[in-house]
Structures are given as C-alpha cells and as structure tokens.
C-alpha cells in the first residue's frame, strides 16, 4: 500500500516539474539566440574592431600577424607605416587582426584567432595609427 502511495507522489512531482523544465529550456534557447543576434547586430550597426588580447604570448601574436598578412595588405605595420609604432607584437597583431576582420565583413568568427582576438566597440586608433573600419 505504501509503495503505491509513493509511486503516486513521485508521478505527481515528476509531472509538476516537467513544465518548469520545459520553460527553462525554452528560455535558455531564446536567450542564446537573442545574444547571438544582439552580437551580430551591434557589430554590424556601430563601429567594431578586432584587437589582440593583451594576455596573448608573442609566438601566437606573430602567428596571427603572419596569417592575417598572408590574406590582406599589412603595409601600415611595416617600418615607416602609420601603425608601425609602437613596434611591438601586440600592436602589430592588433592592427593586422583588425585589417583581416574588417576585410572579412566584421563577423565575430573572423576575430577568433584561436581565442586570442577580442572585439571592441571602442576605436583603438592612436596617434597617426587609424584602425580601419569598413
């Protein structure tokens, strides 16, 4: 008798939790889709630039420079170019990564660089170095 009573209580509890789980799952899916659209709209509707994460090691930064500059013209980071100074891997990688990001249409995935790229909505231009924005 007690066993049947336990089953009824368990079934009742299971049924009462199902709508909550369903609503939670729907909310999570909605939230993910909303954030994805929010990121795409913001990066397309206002200025966005790709920069290198300051915590990235120099070897990775140099790989990023080599990759980006094999795809686009990086003349502005060469000696005498408007973005040569400061002459650091971080600065040169940020400029090259942004040139690539802009040329590819400003999609967040074009700033991944194996986790070393960051998208910013604050113009990183400094001095005579003007970060491209298309």
Span 60-107, pLDDT tens digits: 999 999 999 999 999 999 999 999 999 999 999 999 999 999 999 999
pLDDT, residue 46, reads 77
Would you state the structure tokens that stand for residue 65, as one six-digit string? 């420079």
The b-or-e profile of 55-89 (16+ CB within 10 A means b, else e) is ebeeebbebbbeebbeeeebebbeeeeebbeeeeb
pLDDT, residue 25, reads 62
Distance of CA 66 to the CA centre of its chain: 20
Stated length of the chain: 134
pLDDT, residue 24, reads 62
pLDDT, residue 17, reads 53
Rounded Cα gap, residues 19 and 108, in angstroms: 35
Q: Span 14-27, mean pLDDT?
A: 56
Say if CB 108 and CB 119 are below 8 A apart: yes
């Amino acid at each position: 008798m007690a066993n049947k009573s336990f089953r009824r209580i368990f079934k009742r509890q299971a049924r009462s939790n199902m709508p909550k789980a369903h609503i939670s799952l729907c909310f999570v899916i909605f939230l993910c889709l909303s954030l994805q659209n929010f990121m795409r709209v913001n990066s397309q509707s206002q200025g966005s630039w790709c920069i290198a994460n300051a915590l990235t090691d120099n070897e990775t930064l140099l790989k990023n420079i080599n990759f980006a500059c094999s795809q686009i013209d990086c003349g502005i980071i060469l000696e005498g170019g408007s973005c040569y100074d400061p002459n650091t891997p971080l600065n040169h990688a940020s400029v090259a990564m942004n040139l690539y990001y802009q040329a590819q249409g400003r999609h967040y995935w074009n700033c991944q660089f194996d986790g070393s790229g960051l998208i910013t909505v604050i113009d990183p231009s400094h001095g005579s170095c003007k970060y491209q924005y298309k």
